[in-house]
Copies of this chain bind each other. A is one copy, B any other.
Amino acid sequence: MRLPELRASVCQANLELAASGLVTGTFGNVSGIEREAKMFAIKPSGVPYDRLTPEDMVLVSLESGLPVEGTLRPSSDTPTHLELYRAFACGGIAHTHSECATTLAQARLPLRCMGTTHADYFRGDVPVTREMTAEEVGSAYERNTGLVVVETFSQGGISPEEVPAVLVANHGPFTWGRDAHEAVERSGMLELLARMECTLRTLAPAAPPPARHLIDKHFLRKHGGDAYYGQR
């Protein structure tokens, strides 16, 4: 994918996010990366979704973390995306403040894998990060947000390919995927799962999780070499 296509694709994914009802006002942002060019495109900061054009997408260098052209400022969350692209082998990232995923983040509770709907998309619990320290917030806050996400996966022994989502404590969710569109699709699925989790934790807090064999069965019938879901 060349850079003009990347910008068009990322703009389109941002519009999909706006149309999904997952974001309010100017909250949220989506990016996509062209790894050969070592460049990612991201939504500009604070621009209403209904005015976004491909030209507005800001190109950012994966090496320097700085915008490389254009006059608009990139999303204030750009350094978070940067650290995720550096650590995770993904092609697109979405960030929302979607209602129930954010509520779980505010409760500092993981989104547990309680059924096959979840296991079709995420192979296990979606983790919640630890709180950030005053030092982490005081300086390079957005970059540190990304580093805390990366730490959550490395210290927890969680595969970012198998669980392509995280809840940042007292903040909200990030999701990632092959490209910006898949990242947005997963934000929508995460919110549906979070709605079910909020209801389930209230309704039946002691309900047991499904057996590991059921989770693996559903994840693996859709993902990986032995998948048989969909058309081949």
A: which residues have CB within 8 A of B? 24-27, 44-47, 72-73, 76, 97, 99-100, 102-103, 105-109, 114-117, 120, 131-132, 134, 137-138, 141, 169-172, 185, 188-189, 192, 195-196, 198-204, 207-208, 210-211, 213-214, 217, 221, 228-232
Contacts and interface: CB of A to CB of B under 8 A. Distances in A.
Contact of A115 (B26, B106, B109): B106
- With most chain B CB atoms within 10 A of its CB, the pick from A24, A100, A107, A120 is A107
Contact of A76 (B141, B172, B229): B229
8 tightest A-B CB contacts, nearest first: A46-B230, A170-B210, A107-B204, A106-B114, A115-B170, A106-B115, A107-B207, A97-B117
Given A117-B102, A185-B25, A229-B45, A213 B107 contact: no
Given A24-B188, A100-B199, A134-B213, A171 B230 contact: no
A210 to B, nearest CB: 4
Q: How many copies does the complex hold?
A: 4
Contacts of A46: 229-231
A201 B203 CA distance: 6
Contact of A231 (B44, B100, B200): B44
Nearest to A194: B199
Contact of A214 (B73, B170, B230): B170
A73 B231 CA distance: 6
A107 B203 contact: yes
A213 B137 contact: yes
A25 B189 CA distance: 8
A185 B120 CA distance: 25
A201 B205 CA distance: 12
Nearest to A100: B199
- With most chain B CB atoms within 10 A of its CB, the pick from A170, A188, A204, A228 is A170
Nearest to A105: B115
Nearest to A195: B99
Given A24-B192, A117-B27, A138-B213, A103 B171 contact: no
Given A45-B230, A47-B231, A231-B45, A76 B203 contact: no
